[in-house]
Structures are given as structure tokens and as C-alpha cells.
Amino acid sequence: MVRREKSNYVIQAVAHALDVLEQFHGDGELGVTELSKRLKLHKNNVFRILATLESRGYIEQNRSTENYRLGTKCLQIGQTYLQHMGLLQQARPIMVEVVKACRESAYVAVMRKGKVVPLDMIESDQPVRIISHVGENLPLYCTAAGKVHLAFEPDEEVQRCFPDHLGQHTERTITDRQVLMEQLKKVASTGYAIDDGEYLTDVRTVAVPIKDYMRTVVGSLAVSGPAYRIPNGRIEEEIAPLMMKAGRELSSRLGYNA
């Protein structure tokens, strides 16, 4: 029996409904006309999709503007997803301790479709602090959390995850593939990765891998702060040892046994 690709089973109507939902990322409200233009769908089709989604609570209409926005059902599903991830349940208390110890912002992230995505974070209590955008797709090659994932992947998988062009986000972004591969080998050896202002100017991040009972990297734990507060000496003497200890503890909670 020949197995068919899952893409062959896609239901077009469902795909269109999901396309509509995804248009609200970053946009508060949208109207039928705007959605029709963006998706190149007939207005009547867009209206029917919105009406269906509204009836189930995924979309709601602002009666004063007649535009649409995401409904509370989307929030409920997102919260259910987060609550049921054992990784986040175990990571939260460890992040609390990390932030308390170093007074910098901490977050936990996972790799999804060639990107690294922060799922939860705890902010520093300092007036100047780094805020990680939970749910945002970040590049793998120029973030500490992303490098941690790449460092423990086979070389061929790493190359597959790289975009065709390594875009330069700051003047410190590494865009040479060979240089990056050498850095990833060092990450695998030392057990932690550093983003030295490579994604955001004047921001330093240190990340460590999170492994499960299968010895697979299932996430990354990271600490970010202004570069002036995280010099190299502090990374080596304080931040890296703190993070590696936290990473080992979190991994052990997920069943990892060194």
C-alpha cells in the first residue's frame, strides 16, 4: 500500500478558515474586505467563514466598527496548550529561581518549523530589562536559544534548518555558515550558547539545552539582559554555571539521566 502525503488530505475549507484566523496575528481588528484582499477569497466566502468561527467563539465582532477580532476560545486553547506541556510545568519554578539568582529575565523556548519559539518567561525586576515576546518566531542561527537546538542536531539537519541567506540582524550577526558551524561545535562541547548582540543590539543571552528521558533536546532555557550587565566575565563565572545547573535540574525532572 502506497502511503500518501498528509498534504493530500488537506480539506480546503478548513485551510481557508485557518488562513483567516492567522491573519489576526499582530492585527487587532480586520474587516471582511481587508481579509478578502489579503487571502484572495470572495467576500461571501470570507463572511461565511467568519460567521462559522464567530458561532464557535473563535472570532467576535466589534458591533461599533463591524470589524472582527479573535475570540476568547483562541485564548482558552492557547492556555490549555501551555498548561498541558510538562516542559512548562516543570520549567516555571526553575525559571523563578534563575531570575531570583541573577536578576535577569529568563524564558523557556522550543524549536518549531525551523524557528525557536519562546513559550513562557519571567521578567527581571530591574528597571531596565529584556522582555521576550512569547509565541514569536525567532531565528535559530543568531539567538542563544536557537543555537542550543542546532548544536545537538546532526550536521545535515542543521544545514536544512538554515535559511538560504543568513540575514544580518545586527552588525554582530554571524552570516558565515562555516564560522557558525564551528561555534555550534563549541556550544555542544561547553553545554551552553551565547547570543552576543547578534539578534538584538546590546542584548546578551545565555541558553542551555533541556533534555528529556530519551536524551533528546526538547527545549532551551535562556537568560537575557542588557550587554553592559552581562560582560564575558560574568557569563563565565556566574551566568553559565547557574544556567547549566538549572538546565540539568530541569532535564532531570523530565526524566533525563546523565
Structurally, at CATH architecture level, domain 6-77 sits in Orthogonal Bundle (1.10)
Judge whether 31 and 50 are in contact, CB under 8 Å.
no
- The chain-wide mean pLDDT, for the chain, equals 87
| Sheet with 105-112, edge to edge strand ranges | 115-122, 105-112, 217-226, 203-211, 193-196
pLDDT band, very low/low/confident/very high, at 123 (cuts 50, 70, 90):
confident
DSSP helix/strand/coil, 191: coil
E-strand ranges in the chain read 59-61, 68-70, 105-112, 115-122, 193-196, 203-211, 217-226
Environment class of residue 97 by beta-carbon count within 10 Å: exposed (0-12), middle (13-18) or buried (19+)?
middle
> pLDDT at residue 255 above 60?
yes
User: 208 has which bridge partners?
Assistant: 221
> pLDDT at residue 105 above 60?
yes
Superfamily name and number for 85-253 = GAF domain (3.30.450.40)
What are the structural domain ranges in the chain?
Answer: 6-77, 85-253
* Model pLDDT, residue 153: 81
User: 207 has which bridge partners?
Assistant: 193, 222
* Model pLDDT, residue 3: 59
* Model pLDDT, residue 221: 96
Q: What is the pLDDT of residues 30-78, one digit of tens each?
A: 999 999 999 999 999 999 999 999 999 999 999 889 999 998 888 777 7
* Model pLDDT, residue 113: 79
> pLDDT at residue 214 above 90?
no
Q: What is the pLDDT of residues 147-201, one digit of tens each?
A: 999 998 877 777 777 767 788 899 999 888 889 889 999 999 999 999 999 999 9
E-strand ranges in 38-192 read 59-61, 68-70, 105-112, 115-122
Q: What is the pLDDT of residues 6-18, one digit of tens each?
A: 667 778 999 999 9
Phi-psi region of 215 (alpha: psi -120 to 50; beta: other; left: phi over 0): left
Q: What is the mean pLDDT of residues 221-228?
A: 93
State the Cα–Cα distance between residues 1 and 218, nearest whole angstrom: 33
Give, in order, the Cα–Cα distances in Å from 207 to each of 108, 144, 194, 197. 9, 5, 7, 14
Cell of 139: 531565528
